Amino acid sequence: MTRTQLYLPDEVYEQIKLEAKQKNMSFAGYVRLHFESSGIGKKKKMTLEERYPFIGMFKWGKNAANNDEIDKFLLDEYAK
C-alpha cells in the first residue's frame, strides 16, 4: 500500500471525518472503502472475446475464416 497526502476543502474533510466516526472507521479506512467501492484499482474481468479477439474468426461452415483472413487480422492487430 502506498502512503499519500491530499488536500481537501475543510467542509469535505469534516464531512468525511464525521461519516467515518459514525461507522466506527478510521478516516483513511473510510476513504479507501469509497475508492475501492467505486471500482478504482480493480481489474475488469475480460471475456474471452475481449482478451482474444481473433477467437470469433474460428467458425465452422460457410462463414468460416480462412488462413489469409486470420494472418491479416493478426498482423494488423499485433504488429503495431
- The range of the structural domain enclosing residue 36 comes to 1-42
* pLDDT tens digits, one per residue of 42-62: 677 777 767 777 666 666 666
Looking at the fold, whether 2 and 38 belong to one and the same domain comes out as: yes
* 4 and 34 part of one domain: yes
What's the gap between Cα 66 and its chain centre? Answer: 34
Q: What is the pLDDT of residues 7-29, one digit of tens each?
A: 999 999 999 999 999 999 999 99
CB 25 within 8 A of CB 33: yes
HSE of 11, CA atoms in CB hemisphere, 13 A: 0
Give CA torsion, residues 34, 35, 36, 41, to 10 deg: 170
Query: 31: domain CATH number?
Result: 1.10.1220
